[in-house]
Amino acid sequence: MKLLKVKNGLLEAENFFLASPFGDFSGSANVTRDIATGKLKLISNNKIERSFNYDEFVIELEKENFNTMGDDDYSMIYLGNAHNTLGIKDDKISSQNKYWKILKQDNYIQAYSSNDGVNYSNIGGMAVTEPLTKQGFNKYGSEDFILSKYNVYSNPYVTIQNFPENTVCELYDPTDNLIQSRVFDTTMECKLFLDSNNLNGYFKFKDPSGSILFISDSITFGYGDVWVVSPYNFEIIYLGSVVSNINPALLQDLNEMMVIKNVGNEPYTGITIGTNVTSNDLIQLSIDGLTFTDTLTLDFALNEEKQIYVQIIKNADNHNFNVRDFQLVIS
C-alpha cells in the first residue's frame, strides 16, 4: 500500500504577474519585474489588476513592508467585481505584515495576515453572493510596492482518496501530536483543513473499530493537494527521473512521453490508465505515439516498464496556466 500525490493544489503553475504579458494586468501603472529574483515592483501610485474568475481558491503571497509611511500611505490586495471590492490593507508602519492570504469557499471570503508565513491571524470575512471577476494590488507612497511571491491554490484542504466509508484518517505532526481527525465519506474521500501551506506530518488510517490499517511516511503537503492510497506499486518516470510523491512532474510540452514501471512483487493485469482533467482541454494517451485514446488497458509483468505517450490538445477558451493540469489515474 502506498500514499501517492496525484495532484498539486496550485491552480496556476506559475506566478501570474511574472509570467503574463504586461498588458494583462499593468494598465497605466509603472511596473517592473525581475524573473531571476521572482519579484515585481509597482512603482507608481495606482493599481495593477488581472482578470480573476475562480469560484474557490486560496491566494497566498509575500510582499516587502514599507520602511517609512506617511499618514495617507498604504498597500493593499483586493478582489471584486463591478459592484463590490474587498481585500487586505496595510496603512500603518507598525502593523504591516509580510504575508497575506485570502481564501474563498462556499461563497464566503476570509482574509488572513502573518509576520512569518506560518502563524496567520484572521482579520475578517464576508459572504460574497456575486462572482468575482478581478484581483489586483494598489499602493500609495514614496516607496515601491514589492511583490515577492504569489500563488493561487484550488482550496485550503489536503484531500485523501480511496479508503472505504467511515475509515478514520488522523493527521499527526512530526512530533506525533494529533492535529486533525476526519472520516472518509461515501465517495471514499476525506478532506482535512490546513491552517498553513507546506506542512510536514504523517497520516494514520484506522478502521471504524480503531485498528490501524496503514501509516504513511512523513510527507510535506499543501493547499489543494490530492493524495491517493494505492494498492499498486508503480514508478512513473519522466525525463529520466522517477516522479516523486512530493513534487509531481509538470509536463514541459503538449506532446510528451513517460514510463510506467511495475516495481512491486507481483504482476498486474487489466490495469486501466487514464487522466482526470480539471479543464476543458483534451488529454489522451497512447502506447505507440500514433493512436490516442482517453484510456489504456495494459498488463505489467514483474519489473516490466511501458512507454506512455501523452497528447494535450488545448481548448482555446482555457487559460494558459491550466493547460498542463491533470491527474494520471491508474486503476
Question: Does any domain span residue 139?
Answer: yes
Rounded to whole angstroms, how far apart are CA atoms 293 and 329?
14
Asked if 239 and 271 sit in the same domain, the reply is yes
Pick the last residue of a domain from 210, 229, 248: 229
Average pLDDT over residues 52-66: 95
Question: Does any domain span residue 1?
Answer: no
Asked if 128 and 37 sit in the same domain, the reply is yes
CATH number at residue 170: 2.60.40
Q: What is the grid cell recorded at 68?
A: 517609512
Q: Classify 296 in phi/psi space as left (phi over 0), alpha (psi -120 to 50) or beta.
A: beta
CATH number at residue 137: 2.60.120.200
Rounded to whole angstroms, how far apart are CA atoms 322 and 157?
19
Question: Does any domain span residue 3?
Answer: no
At 45, is the pLDDT very low, low, confident or very high (cuts 50, 70, 90)? very high
At 104, is the pLDDT very low, low, confident or very high (cuts 50, 70, 90)? very high
Asked if 187 and 70 sit in the same domain, the reply is no
Asked if 155 contacts 56 with a C-beta cutoff of 8 angstroms, the reply is: yes
CA distances from 210 to 134, 182, 205, 215 (A): 47, 13, 9, 13
Range of the domain at 161: 157-229
CB < 8 Å & 24+ apart, contacts of 206-210: 206/167, 206/168, 206/170, 207/167, 207/168, 208/166, 208/167, 208/168, 210/168
Evaluate if residue 324 carries a pLDDT over 50: no
Asked if 141 and 161 sit in the same domain, the reply is no
Asked if 31 and 145 sit in the same domain, the reply is yes
pLDDT tens sequence across 269-304: 888 887 766 666 778 888 888 888 888 888 888 888
Pick the last residue of a domain from 88, 123, 153: 153
Asked if 130 and 37 sit in the same domain, the reply is yes
Asked if 131 and 180 sit in the same domain, the reply is no
